[in-house]
Amino acid sequence: MTEPGELEMSRRCLIASGTAGAIVSGAGRAIAQPAPAAPDAAMPVTFDVNGTQQRLSLDPRTTLLDALREHLHLTGTKKGCDHGQCGACTVIVDGMRINSCLTLAVMHEGSRITTVEGLGTAESPHPMQAAFVKHDGFQCGYCTPGQICSAVAVLDEIKRGIPSHASASLTEAPQVTNAEMRERMSGNICRCGAYSNILDAMAEIAGRDA
Amino acid sequence: MKSFTYERATSAPDAASKAVSIPGAKFIAGGTNLLDLMKLEIEAPRHLIDVNGLGFDKIEDTADGGLRIGALVNNTALAADARVRRSYGVLSRALLAGASGQLRNKATTAGNLLQRTRCPYFYDTNQPCNKRQPGSGCAAIGGFSRQLAVIGSSEACIATHPSDMAVAMRVLDATVETVNAQGQARNIPIAEFHRLPEATPHIETTLAPGELITAVTLPAPAGGQHLYRKVRDRASYAFALISVAAVIQPDGTGRVAVGGVAHKPWRIDEADAQLPRGAKAVAERLFTGARPTPENGFKVPLAERALASVIHEARAS
């Protein structure tokens, strides 16, 4: 067992040595070489995020999700599973919701991207954001940006007449029903189980828009 | 993810030629399956050729009354196309039963045909897998095999093909159009497109190296009732345990293909011929020679019952 005093001492030493190391290496870099340039393989890409043109130079491995979070510091979009299974990374690209973790940023030259930050602000929320607050459509909130982007796109998909697995008829226009919304939201997982309240929020917006 | 270089293709023959000449090159379109596997380093291409700009994103009428679906048409657009909904309903239904809304918006027609198995031993890089690492063995045989193949499997592999769309394409007698590095076009009947695993489960299709899918064509509509029945562990966003795609005519004749049971969409002409006699007769012929494991034997009666339900629905409507 480590005594509290020992732990505190060792932490202090660690912090001190770590800080010193940073100073040494920082100074060395400043004198000996210029700041590291982008890696040789970096590629330029330009796309529109929430109405602002963004020009980035990225390692081709960078997913759209990492470009948004790590390079543009739009951290509303969340990394959950990073494998397209949870939906936390959902954004709207050229009018279609996608998993931003399963696409490369360099594949989106010229794309128009909307993240949760582009839907509304704290002062002027998107109606869907306001409805999520009103109906308690979240608990921990981690999946919420993806849920909201998906919910906005789902109502648009129904309006555009795109059928779903829950549609009784393929030839008639789909209706905004609970069964339709539940099926279409199945790519967004909520660990807290706020599903029924998310559905209430969506139903309110669908009713308002209908 | 291993590092790679990236380029945007300028033409189909150019893309095909580069896929042959550049070591470790792969095409990328929707990327939903490839990037997932690259993150796990199951796929590690050294060069990616992005084919999204090649314009294969249209659905056109063909001279013989069918449809030509561009390789890049996404799953949502294909399922929502008015002609597909009206005349090839089994295809719309199969697409809508697969994946999630977000994935269907990205996943392409050609990519859906080329997606890799979801066998858990293919995904677990600590386990031997002849598909991932040829010659390493198959951990699925004798392992947890509940989701895996019951027919057409081999001593080397018992993986299934995961696609819903491909099962509908098989029942519709689709044709896969390709172009190779020399710019030559080729038509591959869907029945000959996917391979059985045999001794080389890592070779999943009959495509030649570098050969690029440009379109999938459907013959003129077959008429009849179009039905797709998928049975899975949850009601949405799960791969099939089994699925049944069927086109059934008013006189009871028709065609049927089954998903989730083999390394390719499973269809047997002699089984089609049994459709007027009912599900039991069809299933007996479909599953002649089946070799289920102790864990997945349930798939054979499950497929028969799903088929009975489909035949009942066709007669009732």
For A75-92, give the DSSP string. Answer: TTS--SSSSSSS-TTEEE
Q: Which residue in A has a C-alpha nearest to residue B95's C-alpha? A: A165
Cα–Cα dist B111/B30, whole Å: 7
Reduced to 3 states, what is the DSSP secondary structure of residue B189? strand
Tens-digit pLDDT profile for residues B199-218:
999 999 999 999 999 999 99
Surface of A (116-145) touching B: CB under 8 A: none
Cα–Cα dist A208/B75, whole Å: 30
For testing contact with chain A, the best of B72, B102, B236, B317 (most A CBs within 10 A) = B102
Q: Which residue in B has a C-alpha nearest to residue A187's C-alpha? A: B100
* Bridge partners of residue B219, in order along the sequence: none
What's the pTM? 0.92
Cα–Cα dist B145/B154, whole Å: 14
| Cβ-defined contact of B237 to A187 (cutoff 8 Å) | yes
B50 in contact with chain A, both atoms CB, cutoff 8 A: yes
| Cβ-defined contact of B237 to A162 (cutoff 8 Å) | no
How many helices (H) and strands (E) in chain B? 12, 11
Judged against a pLDDT cut of 90, whether residue B164 lies above it is answered with yes
In this structure, the dihedral spanned by the alpha carbons of residues A197, A198, A203 and A209, taken in order and rounded to 10 degrees, is 140
The Cα-based distances of A33 to A57, A59, B270 in angstroms read 21, 22, 74
Percent pLDDT > 90 in chain B is 99
Burial class (CB in 10 A: 0-12, 13-18, 19+), B162: buried
> Do residues B103 and B32 lie in contact, with contact meaning Cβ atoms separated by under 8 Å?
yes
| Cβ-defined contact of A157 to B101 (cutoff 8 Å) | yes
Which one of A43, A63, A186 has the shortest CB-CB distance to B100?
A: A186
Q: Which H helix or E strand runs over B26?
A: strand B25-28
Tens-digit pLDDT profile for residues B45-83:
999 999 999 999 999 999 999 999 999 999 999 999 999
Distance from the Cα of A8 to chain B's closest Cα (Å) equals 38
Distance from the Cα of A49 to chain B's closest Cα (Å) equals 19
Does the model's ipTM exceed the 0.95 cut? Answer: yes
Q: Which amino acid is at A196?
A: S
The Cα-based distances of B203 to A73, B78, B136, B161, B277 in angstroms read 42, 27, 15, 13, 37
Query: Which residues from B are below 8 Å from A41, CB to CB?
Result: 3, 5
| Cβ-defined contact of A61 to B28 (cutoff 8 Å) | no
* Bridge partners of residue B27, in order along the sequence: B49
Q: Which residue in B has a C-alpha nearest to residue A88's C-alpha? A: B102
Tens-digit pLDDT profile for residues A11-62:
333 333 333 333 333 333 334 444 444 456 799 999 999 999 999 999 999 9
Average predicted confidence (pLDDT) for chain B: 98
Distance from the Cα of B136 to chain A's closest Cα (Å) equals 26
Phi then psi dihedrals of residue A134, to 5 deg: -60, -40
| Cβ-defined contact of A154 to B101 (cutoff 8 Å) | yes
